[in-house]
Amino acid sequence: MKRIVFLCVLLVFNMGIRATAQEIPDPSFSMNGYGRGVVFGGGTAYSLASVFSELSLQTSVTKSSALLETDIRFRTGMYFNERKTELQIRELYAGYKSQKFDAFLGNQIVTWGRTEGFSPTNNITPDDFFFLSPDPNDQKLSNFMLKMNYRPALGVGLELVVIPFYKMSRYRFDLFDMFDMSGSDWGGFDQFDMSNIIDFGEDMVPEKILANGSYAARADVDFSAFGGSVSWFRGYDPYHGFDVVSVNWSTGKPVIRIASMPYLKTSIGADLDVPIGSLMIFKAEAAYNHTRNPNNKIFIPNPDISYVVGLETSLWGCMILGQYIGKYTFDYTPLSEPQMPSEASAMELLQYAEEMIDYETRLFNRKVFNQQERTNHALFLTVTRMFAYDVITAECTAYYNLTSNEWFVRPKLSWRVSDAFMASVGGNYMRGKDKTLYSYSSSLMNGAFAELKVIF
């Protein structure tokens, strides 16, 4: 595998060097950015879940065929009652850019796929899911990577990505009870206080060696009649699971230490968009995800195929995007809840408790991976309309999972007061049946937000 990737790197680099370069004109420097204040609150767990101010500086430097891009953000505020001040290097990379070949090295955000909201082929970019911002794109995190592009013909592109060190998506399940391990679930253990038994340990990340890096390649075409791509990814998935690190019984009840645990996968995907007439675009995307040893490792999902089909159109002055999101899980076997033995001995009770811990952790991981059932079905809708000569933008995004009965709605109203000043208000509301991810998260992520932004 290492030799194949190394040969691909040499091949793409050789093609780029031999390509006829159209050098970028005279040296140029540009800087822009914004400053903003954001407040998000109104939930049941926190009256103000997120309050922060942020300064973003985005620069671009070009000279001949050299290019430097940066997006650096300084942020300070309160997040879930914790005060934080941080400097985020969202993107910072340098490289070579010509008419047919590019090579960039540094912190970059790369998103693949042609569908919105849920993209099965987008395996590269991790997310900070609990960063509450009016713009969901702010949740994307950069990776340090080498990215190379080769364009052998107009509308045809080849892309290669090498990520030497793994970065996982950020979950904040430590902010709420991950499992409802009440007496009704634990049978004979109802004499114990089963609250606060989950302890989150440090994230478990792969050893920082090249063998644990991620590699991805994509061939893309973009013509007026259609666009599409095929892609391949091999590496640790940013969307990780959880494993039980230890169980401590010294206090008379189990204290379960949980840790984020990444897993290795290989993914083969494809996407397509086709204009239908002048007002409609058909979009589709799918990926097969292959994993190994899911039965023996509770944090590894079963192999599956994820797919999305949708239509984007303009109707009654609105831009409308509707999508169906599906997943089929291979080798699916329903979980069986352990049964409390009657008149059990101390050793049998201990074994039962350990089986319950394993069951609950596997069940939670299946919710994270949307593998609660053999098939998973969901609907996604976004409606956007502009008013007052594009000064005011109203948009609403909704999602409903038909399998788990979870849903959310996210309305937003933006007002461009002037060229440099914007204001926006909106909200986020999600619900789910008891013990679903949305039922856990709703106490933190439900609420309203407001933002004032100055652009320069």
Share of the chain above pLDDT 90, in %: 71
Mean pLDDT for 161-169 is: 96
pLDDT of residue 456: 95
Q: Distance between CA 50 and CA 38 in Å, rounded?
A: 8
pLDDT of residue 188: 47
Q: Distance between CA 143 and CA 411 in Å, rounded?
A: 30
Residue 176 has pLDDT above 60, yes or no: yes
| Exposure class string for 302-321: b at 16+ Cβ within 10 A, else e | bbbbbbbbbebeeeeeeebb
Q: Distance between CA 269 and CA 227 in Å, rounded?
A: 14
H or E element in which residue 10 lies: helix 2-18
Count Cβ atoms below 10 Å from residue 2 Cβ, excluding itself. 10
Fold held by 2-455: Porin (2.40.160)
Q: Are 11 and 90 in contact (CB under 8 A)?
A: no
pLDDT of residue 104: 98
pLDDT of residue 70: 97
Mean pLDDT for 344-368 is: 86
Q: What is the pLDDT of residues 402-424, one digit of tens each?
A: 999 999 999 999 999 999 999 99
Q: How would residue 8 be classed by pLDDT, with cut points 50, 70 and 90?
A: very low
**Torsion angle defined by CA atoms of residues 297, 300, 302 and 306, in that order, rounded to the nearest 10 degrees:** 180
Q: How would residue 196 be classed by pLDDT, with cut points 50, 70 and 90?
A: low
- State the distance between the two ends of the chain, measured CA to CA, in whole angstroms: 47
Residue 3 has pLDDT above 80, yes or no: no
Q: What is the pLDDT of residues 321-334, one digit of tens each?
A: 999 999 999 999 99
Q: Are 129 and 174 in contact (CB under 8 A)?
A: no
Q: Are 117 and 128 in contact (CB under 8 A)?
A: no
pLDDT of residue 148: 98
Q: What is the pLDDT of residues 95-152, one digit of tens each?
A: 999 999 999 999 999 999 999 889 999 999 999 999 999 999 999 999 999 999 999 9
Q: What is the pLDDT of residues 30-66, one digit of tens each?
A: 999 999 999 999 988 899 999 999 999 999 999 999 9
Q: What is the CA radius of gyration of the chain?
A: 24
pLDDT of residue 9: 43
Question: CB under 8 Å to 123, separation ≥6 — which residues?
Answer: 112, 214, 216, 233, 235, 237, 238, 267, 287
Indicate the pTM of the whole model: 0.86
pLDDT of residue 14: 47
Q: What is the pLDDT of residues 214-233, one digit of tens each?
A: 999 999 999 999 999 999 99
Q: Distance between CA 408 and CA 185 in Å, rounded?
A: 28
Q: Distance between CA 274 and CA 312 in Å, rounded?
A: 10
Q: How would residue 190 be classed by pLDDT, with cut points 50, 70 and 90?
A: very low
- Could you tell me the strand order of the sheet in which 241-248 lies? 198-200, 255-261, 241-248
Residue 183 has pLDDT above 70, yes or no: no
Q: How would residue 275 be classed by pLDDT, with cut points 50, 70 and 90?
A: very high
Q: Judging by beta carbons within 10 Å of its beta carbon (0-12, 13-18, 19+), is residue 236 exposed, middle or buried?
A: buried
Q: Closest Cα partner for 285 from 121, 117, 110?
A: 121
Residue 344 has pLDDT above 70, yes or no: no
- Give the residue extent of every domain in the chain: 2-455
- State the greatest distance between any 2 C-alpha atoms of the chain, in Å, as a whole number: 84
- Which residue shows structure tokens 């290492």? 2
Q: How would residue 161 be classed by pLDDT, with cut points 50, 70 and 90?
A: very high
pLDDT of residue 4: 43
pLDDT of residue 22: 45
pLDDT of residue 178: 55
Mean pLDDT for 275-285 is: 94
Q: What is the mean pLDDT of the chain?
A: 88
Residue 1 has pLDDT above 60, yes or no: no
Residue 211 has pLDDT above 90, yes or no: no
E strand intervals along 16-169 = 28-41, 48-63, 66-79, 82-97, 101-108, 143-153, 156-163
Residue 187 has pLDDT above 90, yes or no: no
Residue 173 has pLDDT above 90, yes or no: no
Q: How would residue 247 be classed by pLDDT, with cut points 50, 70 and 90?
A: confident
